[in-house]
Amino acid sequence: MTKPAPRPKTRIQRRNTGAILEAALEVFSAQGFRGATLDQIAEVAGLSKPNLLYYFASKEAIHLEVLTGLMDTWLAPLRALDAAGDPMEEILGYVRRKLEMSRDLPRESRLFANEILQGAPRMQPALAGDLKALVDEKAAVIRGWAEAGRIAPVDPHHLVFSIWALTQHYADFDVQVRAVLGEGHDPFAEAEPYLETLFRKLLAV
């Protein structure tokens, strides 16, 4: 057979591509794209390097697949923001879900952070495309709430940025947060009420 391995078809393919993507997430998120090596990923996945390259065309291809495969998960919390719900509870719920993702999926957060820090060389289109569309849509919802006087007037885009910044900070800069707090702290447990208060005050009419 020729080189391009078809997408998950057989049982073995599903298992191995899954193991590779999981291992790649582990390694890429910890070392960045350039810092990660195929040998590391192969070892974590429990496969040989040539076997990785039997399933994926290149290191680039693995990275891209991890990135795109995680986009849906990553944007789900924002998608769940419901125009029909109560404004304050919807936004606070979004904050809470994002903070939980930072706590439970820090590798995903760091993976995206690494990519964007380097100028998003492999994600530029997705940012200006799907992401912008989604944010614009939800920003319109938030603007509607503000204009109806149901929350305080705020710039909806920068509100979203501030939610991203404040929640992802606890995943991306985890070592710094823990170093500054010292022993005996649970950053996420402390951040939750802090952020709830912050956004309640910001949005109260």
Partner DNA sequence: CGTTTGTCTGACCATCCGGTCAGACAATCA
Partner DNA sequence: TGATTGTCTGACCGGATGGTCAGACAAACG
Query: Given the rule CB under 7 A, which residues bind DNA?
Result: 1, 5, 10-13, 16, 36-39, 47-51, 53-54, 57-60
Residue 26 to residue 110: CA distance in whole angstroms? 10
Q: How far is CA 199 from CA 82, 92, 106, 196, in A?
A: 17, 7, 23, 5
Residue 94 to residue 166: CA distance in whole angstroms? 12
Task: Give the nearer residue to its own copies in terms of CB position, either 56 or 112.
Answer: 112
Binding site for its own copies (CB under 8 A): 30-35, 110, 113-114, 116-120, 124, 127-128, 131-132, 135-136, 152, 154-155, 157-158, 160-162, 164-166, 168-170, 172-173, 175-177, 179-182, 190-191, 194, 197-198, 201-202, 204
Residue 198, contacted partner among DNA, its own copies, none, CB below 5-8 A by kind: its own copies
Q: What is the DSSP string of 103-156?
A: HH-HHHHHHHHHHHHTT-TTTHHHIIIIIHHHHHHHHHHHHHHHHTTSS----H
At residue 176, the 3 state secondary structure works out as helix
Least distance CB 71 / DNA (angstroms): 22
Residue 23 CB-density burial (10 A; 0-12 exposed, 13-18 middle, 19+ buried): buried
Task: Give the nearer residue to DNA in terms of CB position, either 51 or 176.
Answer: 51
Residue 142 to residue 121: CA distance in whole angstroms? 30
Say if residues 77 and 94 touch (Cβ distance below 8 Å): yes
Least distance CB 44 / its own copies (angstroms): 17
Phi and psi torsions of 168, nearest 5°: -70, -25
Least distance CB 19 / DNA (angstroms): 10
Least distance CB 105 / its own copies (angstroms): 15
Residue 48, contacted partner among DNA, its own copies, none, CB below 5-8 A by kind: DNA
Residue 182, contacted partner among its own copies, DNA, none, CB below 5-8 A by kind: its own copies
Say if residues 178 and 169 touch (Cβ distance below 8 Å): no
Least distance CB 56 / DNA (angstroms): 8
Residue 1, contacted partner among its own copies, DNA, none, CB below 5-8 A by kind: DNA
Least distance CB 72 / DNA (angstroms): 25
Residue 54, contacted partner among DNA, its own copies, none, CB below 5-8 A by kind: DNA
